[in-house]
Structure 1
Amino acid sequence: MTSDKPVKPRIIVEPPGPKAREVIEKDQKLLMQSFARWYPLVVERAEDYLVWDVDGNMYIDLNAGIAVLNVGSSNPDVVKAAIEQLKKFTHYSLTDFYYEVAVRLAEKLVEIAPVEKPAKVFFTNSGAESIEASIKVSRYSTRRQYLIAFLGAFHGRTMGAVSLTASKPVQRKWFSPLLPSVIHVPYPYPYRCPFRAETPEECGEAIIGYIEEWIFGKMVDPAEVAAFIFEPIQGEGGYVVPPDNFFSKLEKLARQHGILLVSDEVQTGFCRTGRWFAIEHWGVKPDVVATAKAIAGGLPLGAVIGSEKVMTIEPGGHATTFGGNPVSAAAAIAVIDYMKRERLCERAARLGEKVLKRLNEAKEEIELIGDVRGKGLMIGVELVRDRRTKEPARKELAELLSRLFKKGYLFIAAGISVVRIAPPLTIAEEALDNAIEALIEELKRIDLERHRTS
């Protein structure tokens, strides 16, 4: 993939500039401040991996609008498909009538999804809606009530989804009572395994053992459990990659007890990890895949893709006015076709290996880096104040993101002290290289400053 676009940022006024500050002031007056922004970036326009603010600064995008813009901002193929559909019709409620563009998209999703065929699709508007639908599909098809989710998970903020979410207390604070019959168990986080384990594989085995002995042995009969709901790589929780043995063992446990596997691929889907869906790295076939984010190139859309035997909710049992919007569906078809043509899964895998190698080299000389992990272009760099104690480097992370923003690089964080690296999969290789070197340079500076003041 070649590009003649700039590969370095251009900062002409220190952000936030005067126009940005004006917008921010109005935002604080008019919008409910129930979400926290990373830094004062006020976007005016974006193209591929480049972002311009209202003061004319140009940035290199390393977060893709939170892993949404996998095919880049304002992808020409996506824009063309959306405009063509806009000229035909913008809405006609798929849950009440029919239209061809939704069927064509469903065919493509069934083709690429790692679920047992034949399979069916339910369209939603967002990741949280996809999780809500997955909960209902799981309970309805199994006639069981319990759901098992994982600590550190983020599945959304609507009432069902937030009942599964266990990433930060603020996401659940004052919203109880939440959905009943949800059980949380530890996630196999190799760098911070909640059990005594010498290796990542032992960590995975310990989690399975905990479920068998303590959850099924003392808390709930597995015959009452509808589904395990999980992110194959935890996103908001810290870009946590489980040990290689974990999902095969979880699958075996689930099949033994007739429990469904629901893979939340909202952030990990659509080539982000070097495969269409992250669960494919472990050769496991989930019963249900929940998607959103990158599916439609920035337009609101989500989908639940499941084997026909579990997608059984009767007419009237679940519906949505805007799910499967024809403009978003047309855009999603363009996204999938573009990804196939440009081989973005393979590109993400290749560039991800290169980035991981460079960051692991940097880890040898930067004490602030505790762990480097990821698959494809979903990479986390965990920062610690002390490698022995693994104390999270919260202040250093905040300072790092601020410095990089002012230099023109748009990184964000995950977990407690993890740098997320999730650029558009179309990013120019040289631009990505420059961004990683800028990250390493600032990490070295902060590391040196820490030692000088200690």
Structure 2
Amino acid sequence: MSLSAASELPAFTHGSTVPRVPHHAGLGAELAERHRQRALYELGDNPLLERQRQRESNARSYPRRLPLALSRAHGVYVEDVEGRVFLDCLAGAGTLALGHNHPAVIDALMRTLHSGLPLHTLDLTTPVKDRFMQDVLGALPATFARHARIQFCGPTGADAVEAALKLVRLATGRGTVLAFQGAYHGMTQGALTLMGNLGPKAALGGSLSGVQFLPYPYRYRCPFGLGGDAGVAASLAYIDNLLSDPESGVPRPAAIIVEAVQGEGGVIPAPVAWLKGLRGLATRHEVPLILDEVQTGFGRTGRMFAFEHAGIEPDVVVLSKALGGGLPLSLVVYHERFDTWRPGAHAGTFRGNQLAMAAGSATLAVLRAERLDAAAAELGARLQQQLAAHAERFACIGEVRGRGLMLGVELVDAAAVPGAVGARPAHPELAARVQRECLRRGLIVELGGRHGSVVRFLPPLVITAAQVDEVARIFGQALAAASA
């Protein structure tokens, strides 16, 4: 195929025909049937895991809790090298919006590979990149997209966060950034300064200066000891006072950065009223508002972007994970008035990942054509209802929360005395047992939140109602076994 054929690559846009190809025909049905017939798994060692322990960095994390060596995957199912099949409610930490090896994504990758398109282009444009930019802007609210600029970043969301920090500091001439307790924005040095979790920062002997942490509205463990609307009002009053008081001790900030739903912090959704109020304060005090949508973006919470639940618009939005259709890619999208940085102010060798852009366009086409954001809202409500039913049976469940298909169950010490607003102490040991019991029964879930006591559910958005019911059923069995 000639180089000019790259311009003939499919335009994956809303309303176009989404390509369907028989990739691994029947694999999904095979894995589903084998999962249905599963027995309790005994997870032992195998040579791949042993070599990983011997040779891979001590910083590795997921294999310690999920000792799996994977061989095949399709949709919501993964198979390990021992032939065991698991229902995947981790999905690349929310990266795989369409699940594993979706036909539209595979087809887009194959077409791109066979087109002769250069796969590495730095920030030079191509037909694939041009289409991808249009698709991303088309997914954002029209009023925001109309005045938006895009910065392509390195492969990770953390690099996009670093770029966003540079952007607002250069545009405002200020240095301080307001972040929130429980926040997670990445593991690079600058992003770590914005992290609420002290663990990853403790060994570094401190972090870069210029970040002021604020209480995040956490209904179950209200930082003001109030809860409900009173806690929301107190939080907004606190931020307003900090920005207004000439003796607050905090310089006027370059930005406020926030997750509309905290993910790693424990799947904590910010109340709509609080997000509206925060947007109002940022506008009144002329402080740019950065929304980190790395995990929440592209249908995950039941809207295309989590900030849309509150009907607000950010000044800057950070995107990654599902953005690249399962391949590494990140962006910063921001209002044109902040586009004051000089050429080369933020760069990166791998910001031109053509395969990721093709996969991203294909993913966006499926998301929009199949209304997977609406499906996430409906199926998330179905799963949340069943998890709430478990909370009626198990006193160790402190709270079930989240939005769409981004849900969390906080496990607590049921025998402990509740605090001022009814919260019991976290129970990380029980959470770890529940995760292991889920894995033995063929369900992959992750932990997060304070003390690692929140069981997190991030299934692919293509999950079916029957599969949602199976997730809830297995989780109930795991709770019963871990609590015995």
Verify the 8 A CA contact 2:41 2:442 in the aligned structure 1: no
Output the TM-score relative to the length of structure 1: 0.92
* Amino acid in structure 2 at the alignment position of 1:286: P
CA deviation profile, 1:292-332 (whole Å, cap 9, x unmatched): 11112211111111111223322121111111311111110
Question: Partner residue of 1:111?
Answer: 138
SS at match of 1:52: strand
Aligned match of 2:202 in 173, 192, 201? 173
Q: CA deviation at 1:187?
A: 0.7
CA deviation profile, 1:178-218 (whole Å, cap 9, x unmatched): 33211111111111011031x42221221222223346523
Distance 1:93 1:36 in 2: 32
* Amino acid in structure 2 at the alignment position of 1:212: D
Q: Which moved more, 1:285-294 or 1:436-445?
A: 436-445
Aligned match of 2:219 in 186, 190, 207? 190
Question: Partner residue of 2:443?
Answer: 409
Question: Partner residue of 1:250?
Answer: 278
Question: Partner residue of 1:452?
Answer: none
Question: Partner residue of 2:98?
Answer: 71
Verify the 8 A CA contact 2:242 2:250 in the aligned structure 1: no
**CA, structure 1 residues 15+441, in 2 after alignment: closer, same or farther (shift >3 Å)?**
closer
1:308 matches 2:336: yes
Verify the 8 A CA contact 1:9 1:60 in the aligned structure 2: no
CA deviation profile, 1:202-236 (whole Å, cap 9, x unmatched): 212212222233465233466x3111001110000
Q: CA deviation at 1:405?
A: 0.2
Aligned match of 2:50 in 25, 38, 43? 25
Q: CA deviation at 1:28?
A: 1.5
Question: Partner residue of 1:159?
Answer: 189
Aligned match of 2:407 in 379, 384, 392? 379
Verify the 8 A CA contact 2:261 2:306 in the aligned structure 1: yes
Question: Partner residue of 2:294?
Answer: 266
Distance 2:44 2:225 in 1: 50
Output the TM-score relative to the length of structure 2: 0.87
**CA, structure 1 residues 10+310, in 2 after alignment: closer, same or farther (shift >3 Å)?**
farther
Distance 2:379 2:444 in 1: 18
Q: Which moved more, 1:233-242 or 1:427-436?
A: 427-436
Distance 2:37 2:44 in 1: 14
Distance 1:151 1:215 in 2: 17
1:325 matches 2:337: no
1:147 matches 2:177: yes
SS at match of 2:413: strand
CA deviation profile, 1:245-277 (whole Å, cap 9, x unmatched): 111111111111110110000110110001111
Q: CA deviation at 1:4?
A: 4.6
Q: CA deviation at 1:10?
A: 5.0
Distance 2:359 2:203 in 1: 38
**CA, structure 1 residues 11+437, in 2 after alignment: closer, same or farther (shift >3 Å)?**
closer
Aligned match of 1:431 in 448, 467, 475? 467
* Amino acid in structure 2 at the alignment position of 1:164: L
Distance 1:9 1:139 in 2: 53
Q: Equivalent residues in 2 for 1:124-139 (5 A)?
A: 124=153, 125-139=155-169
Q: Which moved more, 1:55-64 or 1:27-36?
A: 27-36
1:394 matches 2:428: yes
Distance 2:286 2:121 in 1: 35
* Amino acid in structure 2 at the alignment position of 1:161: A
SS at match of 1:184: strand
**CA, structure 1 residues 397+221, in 2 after alignment: closer, same or farther (shift >3 Å)?**
closer
CA RMSD of aligned residues (A): 1.9
Verify the 8 A CA contact 1:9 1:58 in the aligned structure 2: no
How many percent of aligned residue pairs carry the same amino acid? 34
Q: Unaligned regions of 5+ residues in structure 2, if any?
A: 1-27
| Count of aligned residue pairs for this structure pair | 440
SS at match of 1:164: coil
CA deviation profile, 1:335-376 (whole Å, cap 9, x unmatched): 100111111101100001111112222212210111011110
SS at match of 1:430: helix
**CA, structure 1 residues 176+324, in 2 after alignment: closer, same or farther (shift >3 Å)?**
farther
1:289 matches 2:317: yes
Distance 1:368 1:55 in 2: 33
Q: Equivalent residues in 2 for 1:31-42 (5 A)?
A: 31-37=56-62, 38-42=65-69
SS at match of 1:392: coil
1:57 matches 2:84: yes
Q: Unaligned regions of 5+ residues in structure 1, if any?
A: 450-454
Distance 1:210 1:113 in 2: 31
SS at match of 2:193: helix
CA deviation profile, 1:403-443 (whole Å, cap 9, x unmatched): 11011111111113111111011113212211111112322
Question: Partner residue of 2:3?
Answer: none
Verify the 8 A CA contact 1:349 1:376 in the aligned structure 2: yes
Distance 2:426 2:250 in 1: 37
Q: CA deviation at 1:22?
A: 1.4
SS at match of 2:390: helix
SS at match of 2:268: coil
